[in-house]
Each structure stands twice: as C-alpha cells, then as structure tokens.
C-alpha cells in the first residue's frame, strides 16, 4: 500500500532512504535546511522543501501530522535531531523513526518517544564483520538475542548433496527453511532435495547452531 513519508535531512542516509521509498512506490516529502541538498533531490522525490525542522511552525504548515511516518535522518547536529523528534511526536506524527549516531543519542531519542531508533553505522559495521568472518554468510536476520535466520551460499564442494546428507537438524539442531536456486525458491525443502553450487540455503536456529554448521559444513 502506498504510504506518505517525510524524510528530514537529505544527507547520504536520508537521500538513499528516500530514493528507495520512491522506488517502492511511496510518496516522499524531503526536507533539508541546505538548499543544495534539496535541489539535488527535487527531481526524484514527490515534494521537497528547504526548511529548518526545529521550527514548529514550519512543520505545522507542512501538515506533518498527516504523514504515515517521519524519518529524522539528521546525524551530526544532535540537538537538531532531538528537537525535531520531540516536535514530530508533539505534533502527533504516528510513527517517528530516528537515526542515532551513538548509544547515548539513541537513548535520548527513545526516551522522548521515537518509535524506532536506528544505528546505521553501528549495525552495518557489525553486519560486515560477520560477513568477513564467514565468507559464505550472505546475510542474516536476528530473530531474538539467541535465534537467527541466515543465508549461506553453497560451496562447490557440497554440490549434489541432499538435505539428508547434510542433515543439519540431527547434527547441529538448525533447520533449512528454504533453498534459493537460480530456477526458483524451494520453501521447506524435503530431505531428498539437493543443493548445487551458487544455491543459497536459508537456515534457522540458535546463533551457536548456525555458527557450528557454517564453520564445520559450509566453511
């Protein structure tokens, strides 16, 4: 469904986020106090405006409360980030997402009522470290502190092996929930389904189970 987003701060993060939202079919109002940043994005976004988001009257006049979600993508200027997030909540924006540069910045944003706080640099750093540590780990989602879904690429060595041959459930306690092949995705594969080079196995289990399976079988 098409939603209306306001993205405040059109730096590297805000501009990339807003372009992607447009690609996904949403409407995006981009706000930045820097005219150059706004000019760069004016042809791409639904609306753009040069404005200071710490000015309550400006936010009101933009009808900000009618947006489904507002993203505060201001980083360096922590004061502006916090003031903007407070104003957005006060003005009744349903969902306020804010980018934090540090743990403390994130804590303040949570305290003042931001619905979601994101740490792009910290989280991307962690993600890249995991991928460097396990070259066959393409991506992962942490379901909780202990459980993860991981995408593992199948090395040539395992080409032609069936799920039964690998037997991750009996040997490691984790399960293959899907195999992504060039020909299509097999959901809930059977024991007889075979993996080939370049297939991607989607595994669910505890972090330890997946790590062990990755290092002993895929690695």
Structure tokens at 201: 């196995």
Q: How far is the CB of 79 from ligand ATP (least distance, A)?
A: 9
| Least separation in angstroms between CB 34 and ligand ATP | 4
E strand residue ranges, the chain: 4-8, 27-32, 47-50, 69-72, 95-99, 116-118, 137-142, 147-153, 175-181, 184-187, 200-206
**Site of interaction with ligand ATP (CB under 6 A):** 8-14, 31-34, 37, 52-54, 73-77, 80
Pick 87 or 203: Cβ nearer ligand ATP: 87
Nearest distance, CB of residue 211 and ligand ATP, angstroms: 32
Please list, in sequence order, all residues whose beta carbon lies within 8 angstroms of the beta carbon of residue 28, skipping any fewer than 6 positions away.
4, 5, 6, 7, 18, 21, 22, 45, 46, 47
Nearer to ligand ATP, 78 or 138 (CB): 78
Cβ atoms of 112 and 89 within 8 Å: the answer is yes
Contact 182, 195 (CB under 8 A): no
Looking at the DSSP bridge assignments, the partners of residue 49 are 31
Nearer to ligand ATP, 77 or 115 (CB): 77
CB closer to ligand ATP, 79 vs 183: 79
**Closer to ligand ATP at the Cβ: 15 or 134?**
15
Residue 102 CB, shortest distance to ligand ATP, in Å, is 11
Nearest distance in Å: CB 92, ligand ATP: 19
Nearest distance in Å: CB 205, ligand ATP: 35
Interacting residues of 107 by C-beta distance below 8 A, sequence separation 6+ = none
Q: Are 218 and 152 in contact (CB under 8 A)?
A: yes
Residue closer to ligand ATP, measured from CB, 27 or 55: 55
């Amino acid at each position: 469904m098409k939603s209306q987003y306001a993205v405040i701060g059109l730096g590297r993060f805000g501009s990339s986020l807003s372009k992607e939202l447009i690609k996904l079919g949403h409407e995006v109002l981009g706000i930045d106090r820097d005219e150059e940043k706004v000019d760069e994005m004016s042809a791409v976004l639904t609306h753009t405006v040069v404005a200071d988001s710490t000015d309550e009257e400006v936010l009101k006049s933009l009808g900000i409360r009618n947006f489904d979600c507002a993203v505060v993508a201001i980083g360096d200027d922590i004061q502006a980030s916090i003031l903007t997030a407070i104003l957005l909540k006060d003005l009744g924006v349903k969902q306020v997402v804010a980018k934090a540069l540090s743990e403390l910045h994130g804590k303040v944003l949570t305290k003042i009522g931001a619905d979601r706080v994101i740490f792009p640099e910290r989280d991307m750093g962690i993600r890249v470290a995991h991928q460097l540590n396990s070259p066959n780990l393409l991506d992962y989602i942490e379901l909780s502190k202990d459980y993860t879904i991981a995408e593992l690429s199948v090395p040539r060595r395992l080409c032609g092996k069936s799920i039964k041959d690998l037997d991750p459930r009996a040997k490691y306690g984790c399960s293959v929930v899907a195999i992504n092949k060039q020909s299509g995705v097999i959901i809930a594969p059977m024991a007889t389904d075979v993996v080939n080079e370049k297939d991607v196995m989607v595994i669910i289990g505890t972090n330890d189970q997946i790590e062990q399976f990755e290092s002993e079988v895929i690695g």
